[in-house]
C-alpha cells in the first residue's frame, strides 16, 4: 500500500467528486512534492458522508447571487493558478459545497437557439426564467416584460440589492431592475433614439436608469454616475436631472469609500445609491500586454493598477456593506435578495488583458468569501456563484505563441502561465464563447445546481429558496 502525507486546513471548501458535485469538508493538500504518488490528489478518503451532509432542501431567508461576468472555467483556472498555485484553491469560489454546469444559449427573435449569447440575454435568463434575444433586458422575444427575481422578492416584502463593478445600468445589473429592448438605453437620450417604445415621452417605462429609480432596490452600488446628469424628458420629474430626481425621491447617494462606510441604514424610505465612478470602475491589476509574440517574452507578475483610486470601495467592501444593510434585525423582517457582479472579468477578457481579467476574478472571489462568511454565521442563507457566459481566454503551453495574442505571466509558484486570446486581432474585441459554465451553491436549494442544468433553472431554484411566486 502506498502512503500519502497530508496537511489540512480547517475550513469549508469545495472538493471535486463524482461528476460535477463538490462537498464540504477539510481540504487535503499534498505536504510534499506534487510529483509523488498521490501528491496532487485533493481528496482524502471516501467523501460520501460529506456530500450527503451538504445536500439540504428547504427554504432560505436570504439569497446572495454572485456573478462573474465572462467567468468560464478557463478564467477561474487561470486566476487560481496565478494566485494560489496548481494545487491551490480560491478560498471563495472553490469553497462552495455543490457544483454543476449550466447551458447559456440565448434565442433569436424567431425563437431559434443562438449558441453564443451576450450578458443581457443571459442575465435575463436567470433573472426571469425566460430565454430571450441578445441585447434584450428582461423582456421575452416578443418584447413582453418578464418579472424579475428582484421585483418578486420586493413584492414579497424582502429587502433587495444590486451590486456591480460596472455601470449600474450595464446589462447584468439592469436585468433585475428594468425591462427594455436594448441594453444600451441607459438614459433618456439613448432611449429616445434607440428604444423609442420605452421612452417616457412615448408612454413607455423609461430608460434603464429611470426604471431603476422606479424599481427602487434598497441598495444599489456600482459605477455609472455619468448617466445621472441626463434630464428626464417627460413624467412627474420632467426637467430634473436623474441625480436630482434620485435626491427628490429620497435616495441616499454616496460616491466613495468613506461615504459608503457612513451609511447606517437602507430601506424603502431611504434607499442607498452608491455611484463610485462616472463609468465602469477601474480594475485592480495591470501587467504584460497580450501581443502576437507575448508568449515568448519572459514571464512577469501582475502589478497594482495605478489608476485605481484609493477612495474606491472594492467589490468585497460593497458586498459586505450591502449584506449589513439588507440583513434587517427589525421585528417581522422577511429576509433579502442580493445580486453581486464582478463585471470586468468579461471586459478585460474582451481587451485581452490577462492581469486585468485575473485581478477581477480574485476581486470576485473576495466578495464570495464575504458572502460565505455571512451565510455560515447566519444559517438561513443560500449563496450561489456562477457566470453569465464563457469567454475567449485559454491557458496554453508555457512560453508558446499562437495565431492570436498571448501574454506570459509569472505565478506565485514562480512558474510561467501563458494565456492566449484567439478570437480577434490586436486592438479588436475578443469574443464570448458558447460553452457551458460553472455554477456552485451553498445552503438550502443548492443541490439544484448539481449536474447539467440551464441558466433559466436558476430563476426557479432561487424562487423556491425564497418562496417567491413561481410556476
pLDDT in tens, 314-331: 999 999 999 999 997 776
pLDDT on residue 48: 76
Please report the pLDDT score of residue 52 as a whole number. 77
Share of the chain above pLDDT 70, in %: 89
pLDDT at 280: 98
**Given pLDDT bands bounded at 50, 70 and 90, which one contains residue 26?**
very low
pLDDT at 35 over 90: no
* Among the listed residues 207, 153, 143, the one whose alpha carbon sits nearest the alpha carbon of residue 178: 207
Query: What percent of the chain is modeled with pLDDT above 90?
Result: 85
Average pLDDT score, the chain: 91
Domain-by-domain residue ranges, the chain? 1-54, 61-466
> What is d(CA 230, CA 183) in angstroms, rounded to the nearest whole number?
17
Residue with cell 478557463: 74
Residue 297 has pLDDT above 80, yes or no: yes
Taking the model in full, what pTM does it have?
0.91
Write down the pLDDT at residue 73.
97
Average pLDDT over residues 404-416: 97
Residue 268 has pLDDT above 60, yes or no: yes
13 has pLDDT over 60? no
User: Could you say which of 60, 74, 78, 119 is catalytic?
Assistant: 119
pLDDT at site 53? 73
Distances 279 to 101, 216, 383, 449 between C-alpha atoms, Å: 32, 21, 28, 33
- Residue-wise pLDDT for 200-247, tens only, equals 999 999 999 999 999 999 999 999 999 999 999 999 999 999 999 999
* 48/237 Cα distance (integer angstroms): 59
- Other C-beta atoms closer than 10 Å to the C-beta of 40 total 13
Q: How confident is the model at residue 32 (pLDDT cuts 50, 70, 90)?
A: low
- Give strand pairing partners of 266: none
Res. 180 pLDDT band, cuts 50 70 90: very high
Residues 446 and 63 sit within 8 Å (Cβ to Cβ) = no
CATH domain 61-466 topology: Alkaline Phosphatase, subunit A (3.40.720)
pLDDT band at 36 (very low <50, low <70, confident <90, very high): low
Reply yes or no on whether 192 is catalytic: no
Q: Is the pLDDT of residue 459 over 50?
A: yes
Buried b (16+ CB within 10 A) or exposed e, 159-180: bbbbbbbbbbbbbbbbbbbbbb
Write out the H or E segment, with its range, that includes residue 223. strand 219-223
Please choose, from the candidates 402, 346, 271, the residue with its C-alpha nearest in 3D space to the C-alpha of residue 104.
346
Amino acid at each position: 500500500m502506498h502512503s500519502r502525507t497530508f496537511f489540512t486546513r480547517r475550513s469549508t471548501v469545495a472538493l471535486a467528486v463524482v461528476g460535477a458535485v463538490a462537498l464540504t469538508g477539510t481540504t487535503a493538500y499534498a505536504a510534499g512534492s506534487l510529483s509523488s504518488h498521490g501528491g496532487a490528489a485533493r481528496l482524502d478518503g471516501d467523501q460520501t458522508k460529506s456530500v450527503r451532509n451538504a445536500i439540504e432542501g428547504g427554504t432560505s431567508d436570504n439569497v446572495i447571487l454572485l456573478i462573474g461576468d465572462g467567468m468560464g472555467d478557463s478564467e477561474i483556472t487561470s486566476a487560481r493558478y496565478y494566485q494560489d498555485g496548481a494545487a491551490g484553491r480560491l478560498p471563495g469560489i472553490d469553497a462552495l459545497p455543490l457544483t454543476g454546469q449550466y447551458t447559456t444559449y440565448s434565442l433569436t427573435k424567431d425563437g431559434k437557439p443562438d449558441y453564443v449569447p451576450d450578458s443581457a440575454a443571459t442575465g435575463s435568463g436567470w433573472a426571469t426564467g425566460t430565454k430571450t434575444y441578445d441585447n434584450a433586458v428582461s423582456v421575452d422575444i416578443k418584447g413582453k416584460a418578464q418579472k424579475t427575481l428582484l421585483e418578486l422578492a420586493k413584492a414579497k416584502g424582502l429587502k433587495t440589492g444590486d451590486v456591480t463593478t460596472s455601470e449600474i445600468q450595464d446589462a447584468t445589473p439592469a436585468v433585475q431592475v428594468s425591462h427594455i429592448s436594448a441594453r444600451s438605453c441607459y438614459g433618456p437620450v439613448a432611449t429616445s433614439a434607440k428604444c423609442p417604445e420605452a421612452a417616457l415621452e412615448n408612454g413607455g417605462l423609461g430608460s434603464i436608469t429611470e426604471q431603476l429609480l422606479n424599481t427602487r432596490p434598497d441598495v444599489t452600488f456600482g459605477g455609472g454616475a455619468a448617466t445621472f446628469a441626463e434630464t428626464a424628458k417627460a413624467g412627474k420629474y420632467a426637467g430634473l436631472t436623474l441625480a436630482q430626481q434620485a435626491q427628490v425621491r429620497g435616495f441616499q447617494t454616496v460616491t466613495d469609500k468613506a461615504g459608503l462606510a457612513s451609511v447606517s441604514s437602507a430601506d424603502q424610505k431611504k434607499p442607498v445609491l452608491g455611484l463610485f465612478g462616472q463609468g465602469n470602475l477601474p480594475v485592480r491589476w495591470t501587467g504584460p500586454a497580450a501581443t502576437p509574440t507575448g508568449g515568448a517574452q519572459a514571464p512577469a507578475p501582475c502589478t497594482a493598477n495605478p489608476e485605481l483610486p484609493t477612495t474606491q470601495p472594492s467589490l468585497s467592501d460593497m458586498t459586505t456593506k450591502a449584506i449589513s444593510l439588507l440583513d434587517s434585525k427589525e421585528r417581522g423582517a422577511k429576509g433579502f435578495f442580493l445580486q453581486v457582479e464582478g463585471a470586468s472579468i468579461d471586459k478585460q477578457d474582451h481587451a485581452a488583458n490577462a492581469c486585468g481579467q485575473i485581478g477581477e476574478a480574485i476581486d470576485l472571489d473576495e466578495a464570495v468569501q464575504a458572502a460565505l462568511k455571512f451565510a455560515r454565521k447566519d444559517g438561513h442563507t443560500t449563496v450561489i456563484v456562477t457566470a453569465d457566459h464563457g469567454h475567449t481566454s485559454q491557458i496554453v503551453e508555457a512560453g508558446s505563441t499562437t495565431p492570436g495574442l498571448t501574454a506570459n505571466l509569472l505565478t506565485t509558484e514562480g512558474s510561467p502561465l501563458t494565456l492566449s486570446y484567439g478570437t480577434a486581432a490586436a486592438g479588436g474585441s475578443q469574443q464570448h464563447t458558447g460553452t457551458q459554465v460553472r455554477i456552485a451553491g451553498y445552503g438550502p436549494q443548492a443541490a439544484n445546481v448539481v449536474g447539467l442544468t440551464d441558466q433559466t433553472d436558476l430563476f426557479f431554484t432561487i424562487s423556491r429558496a425564497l418562496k417567491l411566486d413561481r410556476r
